[in-house]
Structures are given as structure tokens and as C-alpha cells.
Chain A
């Protein structure tokens, strides 16, 4: 009976609807399916890119052709036909937006519905937003206000036009094109994303946020984000994502590169809520992401905070190269999988500089028939003295048809390193739920309370508005999952 009860709640939680699943009816300009050098030339031409950019893409493509999709992850992915994907699709609208009024009303309506007003007056005053729909950036807010401080916050495409020297200097330095299969693919066909540049000594006065939306059918999204923080600067950057419900799977392969110089600090928060597929595992986004930052300067800091609730498949390991002496990095993650979702996620902390420090807090929550894996590497290089790492990987199970797995890897090349690892696995107990019930709290809310309590350590690291959204999302994505 305990089991029946749990199954009942599990079903309830798993059967909730994905509320961002609508499709916007707008005309798209795409280049047709398929991938070859001509397509890449076409993408580059459409974006009026300088030659260095086309060369970069072609080099990446040629390398990608020699590579195979990685198979080491604990994921069961059907074969992907890379010729059956549209690599470039953009909402048709005027080439250059002068004001809000130029944004297609349908697109504005879409983002209003998602709770992201593009109108600067309506936006919370401390968040600047760049909005990317399918392959293009639609609108960046507060650009002028930021420019006064010398901060550049614009779409990647704009940056290629307006700041080619910066792009050329930094792009591909943290995630080289040959890094991995999906990184090479992204480097060949990437569409749009955000570019952030914080000059020396500047604290960015507001949160910078990019909102990614896949709308068009059969289209892959390949965004690219580059953040450069000069000495003594600071920025907090947020990223959110959604996609319509579609029966076929859609590919998303992104790259994020972050460069943090002396005494600078970057906080990078993600709420990933791509369409996870329906409760029978049909549809959903395949999410293959390479995110990496380098703490290049002394005492530089990089924090990753992520709440991952979406995607049919997630393959993602935000990583930090701790190169500068005394640099530090933290990774806080909550990954929820439900129904037939699969996630293989974690981080890599590469200690190179002396007295570098890293912290990893990973909280996996599995429900339904899903599989949730943590995969993390802590590497201390030979000449790195005094490295410290603390890792904690917890798994929470709802029901007994889901799986949680932990794959921690250690490569310690220097005896002075101190590395600690803790791991726990727990289940939401029927007795905990009953205890809440007895106080008047229904099962759904009880699970929300328990799960948010479990994930609190991570959520607390997120900026306020994001934390609130993340909490709701956790509850919604587990709705119907315990019974």
C-alpha cells in the first residue's frame, strides 16, 4: 500500500504539463536541412561575417567530420541524423532594430507569455536581457546604460561585426574547436548567443541575462556565449531556456567560454528548462553543452550555479581551469529528471595554479523512469601546490523505477593536494510525506517542500528572481511524480 500510494503521487507528479510548450506562429527564414561546407558558407554569408569567422567555422567543420559522437556517458541516445537538421533559421523581421516597436509583435507576445517582457520599462530594473529565438538574437535591453560603463553586452553576431578584435582574440581559447564532437559542431554552425565584456575595475551594476528560445521546427540551436572579465571586474550572468512541445527531438549544442582575469569574479547561473519530452518519452530536446571557464588571473573566481529540469537528454559539465594562483571555483547544481529524461551532468575542476580551491555541490533528483548521473573530475596537475577540493554529491530518489549514479574521477598529480568527497543517496520517504499530510499539507506541496529543502544549498546561490523561479520549476517538474 505504501507503494501504491507512492505510485499514485509519482503519477500525479509526472503527468503535469510543460507550460512553455506553445509554438509562436511567425515566418522563419531558414536555409533548409543538411550540413556541408556550402551550408556553412551560407550561414556565414547570411550573418555577413568577416573572413576569420568563416575560416574558423570551416576548420571546425573539417575537424568535426573526423570525429565520432562520444559514447562514454550514461545515456541512451538514438542515432542522430545530422543531415536532417536545419542549421540556421531566423524569425523574419527588420534587419536592424532601432526601438522596441520594431520587434515583431508575435515575438513580443511570445516573451510576454514566458514572463520575459522585452520592454525596458517593464523589466525589473536590475536585469538586462538578451533574447535569442532560434538562430538570432531578437533584442538586447539596457545596452546603452551598460555602454556608459564601458560594458559590452550584445548578441554574439553583433559582437562579430562591432568588436571583431575581441572575438578573434578570445573565441576558441577556452573551448578549442577540436575539444569534443559537439564543440566542433557548434564551432562550425553556431548561430547566436551573447557576448559580454567587462572592462578593468568595473562591477557590472545589473544582472546580465540571456534567454534562449527554440521555436522553429526541425531546427537545431547552436548558441555561443563568450564572457570576458578584465582585472578586478565583476559580473553576474543568468541564462534561461525553453522550447515548444514537439514530437520529434531537437538538437541543442551550445558553447560557453568564460575568461576571468586577475582578481575578477564571474557568477554564471542557469535555469535550464528545455522541453523534456512527454511522459512516454516522446520528443524533447537533446542538450549537449560545453561550458568552460578559465580563472586565468591570480585570485580570480568563477561560480557556476545551475538548476536543470528540462531536456530529454542532458550532457553537460560546466568546468573551470584554475590557472591563476589562488583562484577558486564553485559548482552548485540541481538536476531533476522525471519520466524518461536522462541527465549525465557534473563538472571538471582542473587545478593548475598554486593554492587553488574548488567546491562541488551536486544534488540529483530522480523520479519516474528517469536516469540521473553525476560525473565529475577533479584534476590536480603535477606542479600545483596546495590545491583543495571539496565535493559533495547527493542523490534523491522519488519512487523505485528511477536511477541515480555517481561517477567521480580523481587525478591527483601533487601530494600536497587535499581532496574530500562525500556522497549520499536518499529517498523521499512515505513517512515524511505522511507527516506533512498530517499537518494539512497535500502530497504535491509536501514534495515541493522536501525537494526545495534538499536543493536549498544550491538555490540560495542564485540571484533572487532566479531562485524564486527555480523553486517553482523544481516543484512543477516533479508534479505528478510521487505516488
Chain B
């Protein structure tokens, strides 16, 4: 479903991604780990279409379409969802209004009529209980004044509302307390089907106890330097990244 070939990305002349190759098939869960500054968020942003970054080389196809050729909103409607590492606050815009606009844009793209107010509220109720998010949060403006953990929960709520084909979750676990981590991970698992895929970016193997990955990649200095099964996460937890750095000549 997603195929990244030799992706090079720079910002302000500085190379950040230096030839990423990655294939994700429907139904799979991929974990991407790696030290701070390795380029994990950059990769996620580039997939979502942030044009702050320059793609200097490489190709990305998503369900057979050239992803890099699409506007960010069209990528979203094609089924790519980015759970932001740092979700953005939009003061004055209610979560209901925001999600309603988003859901109906997705429906329009698929040639469906907009949801009626009551159907929309029903959908909201259903998804809220799925990710166990409090109405107190969804009644407020988008992320405004939310705590770090609340923001992350809200990302998963939005993911549930939009039912993406490919969800890229950038450190959705950081900032969550232990209960919230379980709730969020359960939410992600409940949303999993044979047809969709998830990329989880994380620093902690703990998350992977809940969301069990098929593959674990290590992204280091702009490249994927190691790919293995879920035992790799345990090894990293134990040994840190020094041995990876040494293997890669630093």
C-alpha cells in the first residue's frame, strides 16, 4: 500500500533523510525507532505533505498513486492520517465543527453526501467511547489548553473519526500516563483491520507490548539502518543505540 524508494529530503540545504526505503502492506504494523533528531518526524511530515521540506530525490507511492504529487488535504482524503508529535491548537474552532468539516470533506471526496447533524453526533458518540475520550475535551476548541496527554488522546479520537488506510502515529505514546497509554493502544488496536496499516514512531518498547508490530525499523541519521521483528525493540531497550551507531561508523 505504501512504497518509499530512495527518499532524500532536505531543509534549508541540510540533508535530513538520506535514502529511505520502506514497504508497508495492508494489515501490517510497522514500528520506527531511532535516536532524537534521526529524521522520524521528518519522514512522517513528508508523507503527510508538509512543504516545509524539500524532496530532492526518490519516490513514494500510496495505493498505486504518486503521493508526492498530491496536496496534503488530498493525501488525507486518500487515507493518510498523521498523529502529530506536537498537535496544534486552533483557538475558537470547536472540535465538533472541526471534525464535522473534516468528515464531510472525506465523504465528499468519496462521492457521499454530508452527514446530517444527528448522524454526525451519533458517529462522534460512538468514536468517543471507542477511544474513551471525555466529552469535556471534545466540547472545547481544538486542542486549546489541552494537556500534553489530552492532545495525544485527541489525535487518536480524530483518527477513529476519519478511519484512515494508513495511520502514522508520531510518538503518540509520549506524555501519556500508564492508563492512558493502554486506552490509546486499545483504541489503535480496535481500529485495526486487514485492510489498513499503521506506522508507529516511538522511543519506548512499552507501547509495542500493546500495539504489537510486525516489523521494527531503526532510523538513524536519515537512513533505515536495521529492520527486524519485534525482538529488535527489546534489544534496543536493553542496549540503547550505541551499538547501532558503531555499526554505522560513528
Chain A contact residues, CB within 8 Å of chain B: 1-2, 4-5, 429-432, 434-443, 445, 449-450, 452-456
Contacts and interface: CB of A to CB of B under 8 A. Distances in A.
Given A1-B52, A1-B54, A450-B92, A434 B72 contact: yes
Contact of B93 (A429, A440, A453): A453
Contacts of B73: 437-438, 440-443
A449 B71 contact: no
Nearest to A430: B52
Contact of A439 (B52, B76, B109): B76
Given A1-B54, A449-B101, A438 B92 contact: no
Nearest to A443: B73
B87 A435 contact: yes
Q: B81, B90, B158 — which one has the most chain A CB atoms within 10 A of its CB?
A: B90
Contacts of A5: 51
A435 B90 contact: yes
Contacts of B88: 429, 431-432, 434-435
Nearest to B48: A438
B49 interface: yes
B76 to A, nearest CB: 4
A126 to B, nearest CB: 23
A453 B204 CA distance: 37
Interface residues of B, number: 35
A438 B51 contact: no
- Of the listed residues A445, A453, A454, the one surrounded by the most CB atoms of chain B closer than 10 A to its CB is A453
Interface in B66-97: 71-73, 75-77, 81-82, 84, 87-94, 97
A144 B248 CA distance: 89
Q: Which 7 pairs of residues, A with B, have the shortest CB-CB distance?
A: A453-B92, A453-B93, A437-B72, A439-B102, A440-B76, A435-B88, A440-B105
A454 B77 CA distance: 26
Given A430-B52, A455-B92, 10 more contacts: A434-B50, A435-B84, A436-B90, A436-B98, A437-B71, A438-B75, A438-B81, A438-B84, A439-B162, A450-B90
Nearest to A2: B52
Contacts of B48: 434, 438
A432 B98 contact: no
B162 A440 contact: yes
A453 B141 contact: yes
A314 B81 CA distance: 44
Nearest to A434: B50
B51 A441 contact: no
A333 B84 CA distance: 35
Contacts of A4: 51
A454 B105 contact: no
B142 to A, nearest CB: 8
A440 B109 contact: yes
A449 B73 CA distance: 15
